[in-house]
Structure 1
Amino acid sequence: MKTIITNKFLILLLGLLVLGSCDEFLEEDLRDQITPDAFFTNDKEAELAVNGVYRLYHDNNLYRQRGLDNYYTSGADIQAANRDVNGSIHNYLIQEGTADGNGTWIQLYRVVNNTTEFIFNIENNENLSQEVIDHRLGELLFLRALAYFHLTNLWGDVPFYTEPLPVLERSVLGRHPKAEIRSAMKADLARAFDLLPGSYSGNDLGRATKWAAATLKAKYHLFDREWAEAKAECDIVIDQSPHRLLDNYADVFDQSDPSAQYNDEHIFVVDFEADYGGPLNTTRTDDYNPRIRDEPFNRNGDTLINGQTYQRVDYFQNQVLRPRNEDMTGYGWSVPLPEFALRENWQEGDLRYDATIVTEYLGWKLSFPYFRKNWNLDQENSLRGNHPENFIVFRLADVYLMAAEAENEMNGPGNAYAYVNKVRERAFEPDQPWSGMSQEQFREAMYEERKFELSAEGHRRMDLIRWGILLERVKSVQHRAWNNPGANIQPYHVLLPIPQQQLELNPNLLESDPTNNGYR
């Protein structure tokens, strides 16, 4: 395991020292529990604290299950469940107290609480070596900036602090302007870039590098339409980092070998590992894996094999899958929408289709399409509820596409082609580079290019929001019979309401906006 304590005793110890069990917003006051003198007396203790913050990101409400996926992938134009579940979110039936993201809010503020407290405990701590101070501060600044990135994406203006506050003070904070939060986080990420190393090896793989900080900073700038700054950060990663685009698109997502889950295209991942129990393993893979109760197509019908009649599902499961140590034990909560699953809706020659979409398996037609890039049917290394697959948060192809978009917005497509064509060079055989577009044509083509390159990776809904086309896409794309988000979506759905539970705990959250992002 990387970035996480893999010894069960240390996991328990870290949970007691760092995480606490508070379920309410801003209630946990770590200053009452941990002080520089009482805790950070040596370099190892500082490392344990930072490991604990990484572990916070392994929660079901963030990256382990469908926490962030609920609001970054559902309710867009690529994916939804294969049956009538998760409808409150995908169908925009969100209200205060209904699918309002309360668990995600709580967990992100746990990250903010702990990173802020530990920065205070580590900075200028005479018990620690300067090398450890710099390294751990860089990680904490990145991890806090990632939390505020999600908070401001989902709720806009939110409570904000970067210095330790007593619990009573934190519990009455009002909302702070999103622009000021993001400005502060960009400054923190610039500092993190200077403090963080450029690479890791061995058990440290998965920690934040300076390239992860630069990529997150580029994201902030891109979302804020600061094109020059976004392009500059992307160029730093492209030109100076050791990361490279893999030759084969499918290899980017190949985590079939749990001991070789990293590759040169991954910039930052949330690292999961099986057999250590939650939250160190992930259940997100189950959302992308099929249910055998759904598959194969006409599962209860008969099939004739070598002159003998079998029920299709029995033969498929027992004679086709299991000899390969495979099975379909997932939930089917996240499958491609019909239009995205059709090959004819992809550009001719796009090699990413077969690496992304599967509509038949080993010669057997399936009832639903699935995301091949995110499934794992392996029953030896990736069991239901106990998967090791890492969540790829940032990868280099995204950086190239961000650079292309930023360059086009600044100067038109002339110098932007090189960035997008670098990604498309891998995607097509023969190569199909872009050329001869106007700035507007390039912009609109990028809407589609990011969809096909980055599908089911947690980017799509925020891309549609920042482009101002979420409502248009949701209303125009084909959904399945049990979903009808186009009938419900409203302009204010680009943000979530401040969760009802948080409003009950802290009425000051309504002070700057009594409408609660338009939900009242």
Structure 2
Amino acid sequence: MKYIKLAIVIFTISLLSSCEDVEGEFLEAPAQSTLNESVIFSTFDLAKGAVDGILEPMGQTNSYRGRFLPYYGFNTDAEWNYNSDEANNPTGELMIYDAEPTNSQMNTENNAWAQMYLGIERANICIKGLRSFGNTDVNEDLGQLLGEALTYRAVYYADLMKAWGDVPARFEPITPETLYLPKTNRDEIYKRLLDDLAEASELVAWPNENSLTTSVERVNKAFVKSLRARLAMVASGFQQYPDGVRRSNDPELSVTNMYTLALREADTVITSGRVQLSSSFETLWRNYNEEVLSAGRESLWEIPFAAGRGRMLFSFAIRHRGVDQHTGQARGGIAGPLPNLFYDYDEDDLRRDITCIPYQWGIPIDGFAKQELVGLNTWYFGKYRYEWMNRYVTSTNDDGVNKIYMRYAEVLLIAAEAANELQGPGAAAPYLKEVRRRAFPSALQAQKVDGYVDNLNSQQAMFDAIVQENKFEFTGEAERKQNLIRWNLLGENLREAKVKLGNLQTRSGEYADVPTTVYFRYAEDNETLEIYGLNRGETQQPGPEFSAFDWTTLTDVEVNSLFKEGVDPDDRQFWPIWQTFIDGSNGQLTNDYGY
């Protein structure tokens, strides 16, 4: 069944150890349990309900659903949030590297920070119970659940560190002695997560290997190994520590050790044959919007949302200005690709016209809306589309579409990056070619796949190409920011992006041949735009049936809104811990990084 289920039993289990106080922490409290832990965690259906409950906090309004997923990951050299150019906008401040601990969007006691720790506490209870009573060495189904609980806990911690850096670490259910904890060096947390995921990968099955791994809404071995590879790359990468931006000083997290681990895990997934790229980039995203959940495809694991939870399309879909033939929800479009990104793609790259959309759905007349051009300054992510769904969304503020947490294309690019570092560009080439092969028509692959990749003759050239490929593949999926951080390219690429936006605005430099007028007409269905003039050099009026549209709308304020003037994004790689959690920490938590 497609939803995050909070089984009644999870409340029972939680009461064995804790209850939630007003600060979002957990306090020990005596309580009567209707079931004994030994019964719950030795009985598959009861234990499954408890493990499912680990994910329930993700669906809360101020958690992943309405705060973390819509806001984390902006702004980058590929995407921005449309609140960024509004002065003193609390949402915009989260994007422009100017967030304060008292930010009104985030400084609430039920926010993502608290919900993540609620999920971790539930995971800790399940892990302890399954280890104690599940006989997981013999009972494979309960072993699968233990692997899921270990993985879900790793997901929560990975996202906490992605957003906040060093955070408190708790790997056992809360006791009075561990109620208030200081921050733990993230290196120690990463090492623990890598060990946990190694264990989990031995417990969970491959996609479709058993009845528990037939859906991407449940954890499988391909995802666990891929997540372990991702975390190894992050743990060894550059990131802001209290003493500056650097790699880890821990020899266990050296580039050689971590890239070797990442390449081994990625290769295991690749050679397993258990997952694969979608046949085309468009098919991938049509399947996503159609909510195809069968495992063994490109999506490795998805955060599962009920129809009344989740805001992926509500936040990121092509904008719909009203209730129309495609959606009963007039939303989408809070963010989009940078205007220059469309022109940075190779014109033959099939990902471009899926990723970068220059139109919205206008105000409907009698329930019928047409596509209409918006302007050079406003593009939308075409990966998210109400019009590609198989159901009609009627909720006012949720769409129920899952979040793809990781997909197979990332595994291939992790393998390419690790192989390049350890063995050189020749070893990286096959992985990069596989990703690019899907991006170009077969007639052009000899030149734009094989020729392009074979010409990357140095480690630096290959690395630069992998950085670009990640951008063209993942824009709009909240992957870019953390990758720029670990590559030590966040500040550099954001500053370069501002220059690019300025050049596009003035039609100078690399954007001198971008048209200043585009032309449009409607197809026979009277709703779909046919556009001429988006591509470089398309400057001739295509015919009297086409209408002209100004393509110069990009202001100085917008160009400069990518990050706050006078701020170095590398000094603000993480959000501050919100003040309510500082105040409720009994003096244990403080903010670093100049907050």
What is the CA–CA distance in structure 2 between the aligned matches of 1:455 and 1:144, rounded to whole Å?
26
Query: Are the aligned partners of 2:316 and 2:335 in contact in 1 as well (CA < 8 Å)?
Result: yes
The equivalences for 1:129-148 within 5 A come to: 130-148=139-157
Q: Does the C-alpha gap of structure 1 residues 31 and 210 become closer, same or farther in structure 2, counting only changes over 3 Å?
A: farther
Does residue 215 of structure 1 match 2:236? no
Q: Secondary structure at the match of 1:145?
A: helix
Unaligned runs of 5+ in 2: 237-257, 361-369, 502-554
> 1:318-467 alignment to 2 at 5 Å?
322=324, 324-326=325-327, 329-340=330-341, 342=342, 344-360=343-359, 364-367=372-375, 368-377=378-387, 380-383=391-394, 384-429=396-441, 430-431=444-445, 432-433=448-449, 434-437=453-456, 438-467=458-487
Percent of pairs identical after alignment? Answer: 25
Residue 466 of structure 1 deviates from its aligned partner by 0.6
Aligned counterpart, 1:265: 298
Aligned to 1:88: 93
Q: 1:249 to 1:62 in 2, by over 3 A?
A: farther
Equivalent position to 1:475, from 492, 495, 502: 495
Which of the residues 94, 102, 108 maps onto 1:97? 102
Deviation of 1:198 (Å)? 1.1
Q: Provide TM-score, normalisation by structure 1.
A: 0.83
Give the root-mean-square deviation of aligned CA atoms: 2.9
Contact 1:292 1:327 in 2 (8 A): no
More deviation, 388-397/361-370: 361-370
For 2:213 and 2:263, locate their aligned partners in 1 and report how far apart those are by CA, in whole Å: 32
Q: Per-residue CA shift, 1:31-77, capped at 9, x if unaligned? A: 85665147446221111101111222333444423414422x21222
**Which amino acid is the alignment partner of residue 492 of structure 1?**
D
* Alpha carbons 2:219, 2:301 under 8 Å: kept: yes
Give the total of aligned pairs. 475
Q: Which runs of 5+ in 1 are unaligned?
A: 6-10, 294-316
8 Å Cα contact 2:266/2:411 also seen in 1: yes
After the TM superposition, which residues 487-506 of structure 1 pair with which residues of structure 2 at under 5 Å, given as runs?
487-490=565-568, 491-506=570-585
Query: Residue deviations 1:248-294, cap 9 Å, x none?
Result: 101112247756344611111112232xx3xxx3222111235555x
With over 3 angstroms needed to count, the CA separation of the structure-2 counterparts of 1:172 and 1:40, relative to structure 1, is same
* Equivalent position SS for 2:169: coil
Tell me if the contact between 1:94 and 1:100 (Cα under 8 Å) persists in the aligned partners: no
Q: Which has the higher contact order (CA 8 A, sep 6+)?
A: 1
- Look up the equivalent residue of 1:76 and give its one-letter code: T
CA drift of 1:415 comes to 0.8
Tell me the residue number matched to 1:36: 37
What is the one-letter code of the residue matched to 2:147?
A: G
The alpha-carbon distance between structure 1 residues 422 and 379, as it changes in their structure 2 partners (threshold 3 A), is closer
- Indicate how the Cα distance of structure 1 residues 446 and 397 shifts in structure 2: closer, same or farther if over 3 A, else same: same
Amino acid at match of 2:8: L
Give the whole-Å Cα distance in 2 for the aligned partners of 1:15 and 1:391.
Answer: 24
* Gap change, CA 1:425 and 1:101, over 3 Å in 2: farther
- Quickly say closer, same or farther: Cα 1:326–1:284, change in 2 above 3 A: closer
SS in 1 for 2:397: coil
* Shift in CA distance, 92/257, structure 1 to aligned 2, threshold 3 Å: closer
Secondary structure class of the residue paired with 1:224: helix
What is the aligned partner in structure 1 of residue 285 from structure 2?
A: 253
Note closer, same or farther for the CA distance 1:425–1:292 as it changes in structure 2 (3 Å cut).
closer
Q: 1:329 Cα deviation (Å)? A: 1.1
TM superposition shift of 1:476: 2.8
Q: Measure how far apart 1:127 and its partner are.
A: 8.8
Asked if the contact 2:259/2:418 (under 8 Å) is kept, the reply is yes
Is the aligned partner of 1:485 residue 2:563? yes
For residue 445 of structure 1, report the CA deviation from its aligned partner: 1.7
How far residue 331 of structure 1 moved from its aligned partner, in angstroms, is: 4.4
**Could you report, residue by residue, the CA deviation over 1:408-453 in whole angstroms, capped at 9, with x for unpaired residues?**
1112211101001100000012111212221111111222110110
Amino acid at match of 2:81: A
Structure 2 vs 1, CA of residues 412 and 31 (structure 1 numbering), >3 Å: closer, same or farther? farther
Residues 169/109 of structure 1: CA separation in 2 closer, same or farther (3 Å cut)? same
Supply the AA of the counterpart residue of 1:75: N
- Tell whether the 8 Å contact from 1:270 to 1:391 is kept in structure 2 after alignment: yes
Q: Per-residue deviation at 1:386? A: 3.5
Deviations 1:112-134 (A, max 9, x none): 11101111122131699823331
Deviates more, 1:184-193 or 1:52-61: 52-61
Contact 2:38 2:133 in 1 (8 A): no
For the residue of structure 2 that corresponds to 1:502, the secondary structure is: helix
1:191-340 equivalences in 2 (<5 Å)? 191-200=199-208, 205=215, 206-225=217-236, 226-255=258-287, 258=290, 260-262=292-294, 264-274=297-307, 277=308, 281-293=309-321, 322=324, 324-326=325-327, 329-340=330-341
Please name the residue that 1:307 is paired with: none
Closer/same/farther in 2, CA of residues 420 and 32 from structure 1, 3 Å limit: farther
1:5-44 aligned within 5 A:
5=5, 11=6, 13=8, 16-17=11-12, 22=21, 24-29=23-28, 36-37=37-38, 39-40=40-41, 42-44=43-45
Q: Distance in 1 between matches of 2:302 and 2:82?
A: 27
